Amino acid sequence: MKIAHVTVKTANFEKEIHFYETYAQMTVQKDMRSLGKPIVFLAQNAGDTELEIIETTEAIDAGNANLSIGFHAENLDALRQRLISDGFQPTEMISPMPQVRFFFVKDPAGVHVQFM
């Protein structure tokens, strides 16, 4: 079995979509907005595990400190600098071993996102 999708419910729907398109290089694979449903599925490639984004005004955009979504980044330092320039507050670079480097940043819904 493989993970089909991860769902994020948010009151910041368009900002959430923009975050994953811009920083995680995902694209909309399925878009239900034309059916009157504020739901999109994003992935890096067709057939990959998807990120489902659902707009709901009841969402508490605070994330969960015990959950994060991780992505590999081609140029980790440049991505971190871009996030800072765009007003996000990523953590310092973390390196628990010489060959491992990553940082965390909260997306517009408050979800912890790890870029490695």
Average pLDDT over residues 90-101: 96
- pLDDT tens digit sequence for 68-81: 999 999 999 999 99
Q: Are 8 and 56 in contact (CB under 8 A)?
A: no
CATH number of the CATH domain containing 64:
3.10.180.10
The whole-number pLDDT of residue 67 equals 86
* Helix orientation angle between 76-85 and 13-23, rounded to the nearest 10 degrees: 150
- pLDDT tens digit sequence for 21-40: 999 999 999 999 999 999 99
Count CA atoms closer than 13 A to 53's CA, side-chain side: 28
The whole-number pLDDT of residue 20 equals 98
pLDDT of residue 58 exceeding 80 = yes
Nearest by Cα to 86 from 40, 26, 17, 18: 18
The whole-number pLDDT of residue 82 equals 98
With bands split at pLDDT 50, 70 and 90, how would you rate the model's confidence at 61? low
Give me the numbers of helices (H) and strands (E) for the chain, helices first please. 2, 8
pLDDT of residue 60 exceeding 80 = no
Number of structural domains (the chain) is: 1
Token code pair at residue 28: 């909309």
| Amino acid at residue number 86 | D
Which residues form the domain of 73? 5-115
pLDDT of residue 18 exceeding 70 = yes
